[in-house]
A and B are shown apart, each in its own frame.
Chain A
Amino acid sequence: MRGDLARDLEVREVQNLDLGFAEAVAKAGAEKVNLCIQCGACSASCPVGTRSALRTRQVIRRVQLGFRNEVLSHKSLWLCTTCSTCTQRCPRDVNPMETLISVRSLLVEEGYVPPTVRDALEGVFKYGNPWGISRSKRSDWAKDLKVKFVSEGEKTGLLYFVGCAASYDPRAQKVARALVTNLHASGTDFAVLGEKESCCGNEIYALGEKGLFGVLAEENLSLLDRYGVTEIVTTSPHCFNAFKNRYGRKNLAVRHYTQYLADLIDRGRLRFPKKVEKTVTFQDPCYLGKHNDVYDEPRKIIESIPGVRFLELPMSGKRSVCCEGGGGRMWVDVPGERASENRVKEAITMGAEIVAVACPFCLLTFEDAVKTTGNEGRIQVMDLNEIIAKAL
């Protein structure tokens, strides 16, 4: 560290230091940034840092020292996937992930945002989704399905919060459709918000646009109130996380679909008459596992499908590796290999025929990875909902 600091001090003029910078970052949400002891656990636990210029520890050090211009001009800040591995392993509970998000929020405030991120933010602002597609198309995925929409004056009970990816992305739409099939098969009554649903804002928060996030949270919460929603189930672990941990409303009964379906299986309401004779492995979504400690339910679902042979990836559960789809990374492209490519190779080596996922972002990044590694036809990427639907 001494060498690092000395080098920093040699090459910079001291008058360029912004001595209030650490406080500004702390105020933006990284309260403990000054407690960092520079051990480097964050840098080395980062799934992106090992392959790029992102050095979380160094960002934190430069924040502490007041190297404002240098920190804010560092493009690697947009590489963070907010997988939270650094935060899980930080011995001083500094929350390095939240520190990076706070630095991003200063960048957003000043308008220093990569064009692709700007487009995503604009899309959410104008149309309620990061792809900037019209609201009127938000429920196209459900066209020929018998899905109930919320209506005024009628208590909704269970709300299925679809989320942007499952609403608009053609591949992820299939997951939403499979979930509807599965819920119907169990005789569960539910409704969706349709065109009124706005982006949950989880990725918007992670990109540092906390103002816009606040607007989205308010919109979604007021919809819940208006339609008497008492319980929510989500497709995406990202939406699940936003409702559960970021909206600041206690007693919101929100569950990820893996939790909901595992419970239905437990209570005997979801039964599998058909066999799925496949070797399956599972990618833990960061926002389900590391962020929210949900590890058992997806495994429970897989293991209760008859015929499935389940294998754990070499790194799984709390040691799982991010697919690099989160934290806004759907809108920040990075040249070179992605972590999901390595995961796909591992899955094939193990002899898995299906990589099961439980997050639309994992689904998309893994499918990409199957193609970019030239493994099309050798392994399938399926959401758990799709595997369940096959067993019905």
Chain B
Amino acid sequence: MIIRRGETLLAKAALVIGGGIAGIQSALDLADQGFKVYLVEKNPSIGGKMAQLDKTFPTLDCAACIMTPKMVDAGRHPNIELLAYSEVHDVKRDGDVFKVNIVRKPRYVDETKCTGCGVCAQHCPVEAPNEFDEMLGLRKAIYVPFPQAVPLIYTIDKESCIDCGLCEKVCQTKAVDRQQQPREVEVEVGAIIVSTGFDLFDAREKEEYGYGIYPNVITGLTLERLLSASGPTGGHIVRPSDGKIPRSVSFVQCVGSRDERSGNLYCSRVCCMYATKEAILLKEHVPEIDETIFYMDIRAYGKGFEEFYQRAKQEFGINYIRGRVAEITEDPRTQNLLLIVENTETGEILEHEADMVVLSTGFVAPRDEGLAKMLPVPVGDDGFLVASNLKTDPVTTEIEGVFIAGTVEGPKDIPDTVIQASAAAMKASSFLID
């Protein structure tokens, strides 16, 4: 859409693709300046990976407490049109604007009628693993991914739904529409910000760590959900095999990062700090817990990071041992895990036993490259999108009017993501006024 007053063109709208913390920040910055923004998110709610986190390093701010207000702002900003549960299907350049085709996937719930009351979910008889809780907890077949979802609109997961029609019967506003079809929306924008984020490395690829084989080997993001008061265990730390409180936990660093075998040569930049953070949080939940972080190098490069790392060691008594874990096996009787690792500071080979193991999985570029081809923004060897100039033009791409923000450009933490998102909004704004 192009904003006009009479015959006078005032400003073009912007499109932000991906509603994680980067996309939300870019959208808010543009909208606050008065520009119209379409914010497209493929999942039922905006929030992205940050919404799944318990607390954030190095300040231990509650992620939801600093994230939710921004989500709500984006959801009700008069200049932001939120297109959640939608995907960009086609982008065509037409002069100095882009014509964008967006498909609104059917929620089988009318967005204009649903009030988010949740009566449908109370009656829904089907339970499915909850993606937001990394498959630990359950949700209904008609669901919102988490209570603070924006927009707070229910979605039917047709894969699990048994079409019993109960939700339709109990809905007071007649919002359930089980015949809903995908709907196409055409918008015209002057600039596009790509903020589609990252995927986590699939730890099953490193079979030596037994992820997916041994129930007590989990990933860092799963631990975030266990730590979270709104998570599947209400913040109680239990291990998956038997629901017991783990008395010893080991972290394995660089799983899928700095690893030629996985094809990922880069450092994921957040794992040293998130493991440190999770170890501290675990200690706060279970004070007598014994924790060891096995690492190749500790990269504590950001503001407050080194201090955070030193605190973890000195104040919280977390052990750091330098050595890349070679293998994890399970004691079938106890389902405890045995980590085989060389302590490279002593040359000793350790067989370190732990009740639970947390794999610090790194970032990978999303496997779907369709969007990059459509725009078409260059993709680097590592799968992440490439900026015009890493140093002097870090949010601009080779394609005029297309900008990148956040982890779609490469692994980064939340502060760097937000900085890049604001920068992308600034750069994009100059394409919105003639």
Contacts and interface: CB of A to CB of B under 8 A. Distances in A.
A44 B346 contact: no
B260 A40 contact: no
Given A4-B344, A50-B340, A57-B342, A90 B261 contact: yes
A91 B341 contact: no
A91 B345 contact: no
Interface stretch (B71-79, B120-128, B324-332, B417-425): B324-332
Interface residues of B, number: 28
Interface in B332-361: 332, 340-347, 349-351
A3 B326 contact: no
Contacts, number: 84
Nearest to A94: B260
Contacts of B349: 43-44, 49-50, 55
A319 B209 CA distance: 10
A374 B326 CA distance: 31
Contacts of A42: 326
A42 B347 CA distance: 12
A39 B341 CA distance: 9
B261 A44 contact: no
A45 B327 CA distance: 7
Given A91-B254, A91-B296, A93-B261, A39 B208 contact: no
Contacts of A37: 296-297
B258 interface: yes
Chain A interface, DSSP helix/strand/loop, else mixed: helix
A44 B340 contact: yes
Contact of B345 (A1, A92, A318, A319): A1
Interface string B251-281: 0001000111100000000000000000000
A186 interface: no
B99 interface: no
A40 B344 contact: yes
A339 to B, nearest CB: 13
Nearest to A40: B342
Contacts of B332: 314
A2 B326 contact: no
Contacts of B260: 90-93
B323 interface: yes
Nearest to A58: B347
A62 to B, nearest CB: 11
Interface residues of A, number: 29
Contacts of A43: 326, 342, 347, 349
Interface in A22-50: 37-45, 49-50
B433 to A, nearest CB: 49
B258 to A, nearest CB: 6
B284 interface: no
Contact of A4 (B207, B326, B341, B346): B346
Nearest to A52: B349
A42 B349 CA distance: 11
A88 B347 contact: no
Contact of A315 (B322, B329, B341, B346): B329
Contact of B326 (A38, A41, A92, A317): A41
B344 A89 contact: no
Contacts of B325: 41, 44
Interface string B8-22: 000000000000000
Contacts of B324: 39-41, 44, 91
Contacts of B258: 91
A319 B344 contact: no
Q: Which of B261, B341, B342, B346 has the most CB of A within 10 A?
A: B342
Contacts of B345: 1-4
A3 B322 CA distance: 12
Contacts of B329: 314-315
Contacts of A90: 260-261
B208 A45 contact: yes
Nearest to A3: B345
Contact of B323 (A39, A92, A314, A315): A39
A385 to B, nearest CB: 28
B261 A89 contact: yes
Interface string B305-332: 0000000000000000011111101001
B293 to A, nearest CB: 14
Interface in A48-104: 49-50, 55, 57-58, 88-93
Contacts of B341: 40, 44
Contacts of A315: 329
Nearest to B259: A91
Contacts of B347: 4, 43, 55, 58
B299 to A, nearest CB: 13
A1 B261 contact: no
B207 A319 contact: yes
Contacts of A39: 296, 323-324, 344
Nearest to B257: A91
Interface string B181-208: 0000000000000000000000000011
With a 10 A CB-CB cut-off, give which of B296, B329, B332 has the most chain A CB atoms.
B296
B323 A40 contact: yes
Contacts of B344: 1, 4, 38-40, 57
B327 A1 contact: no
A319 B208 contact: yes
Contacts of A1: 322, 344-345
Nearest 9 CB-CB pairings of A with B: A40-B342, A44-B326, A45-B326, A39-B324, A93-B260, A43-B342, A41-B324, A40-B344, A40-B323
Interface of B: 207-208, 254, 258-261, 296-297, 322-327, 329, 332, 340-347, 349-351
5 contacts: A39-B296, A40-B326, A41-B325, A55-B342, A93-B261
Given A45-B208, A91-B258, 11 more contacts: A4-B345, A41-B325, A41-B326, A44-B324, A44-B342, A45-B327, A88-B261, A89-B326, A90-B261, A93-B261, A314-B332
Interface of A: 1-4, 37-45, 49-50, 55, 57-58, 88-93, 314-315, 317-319
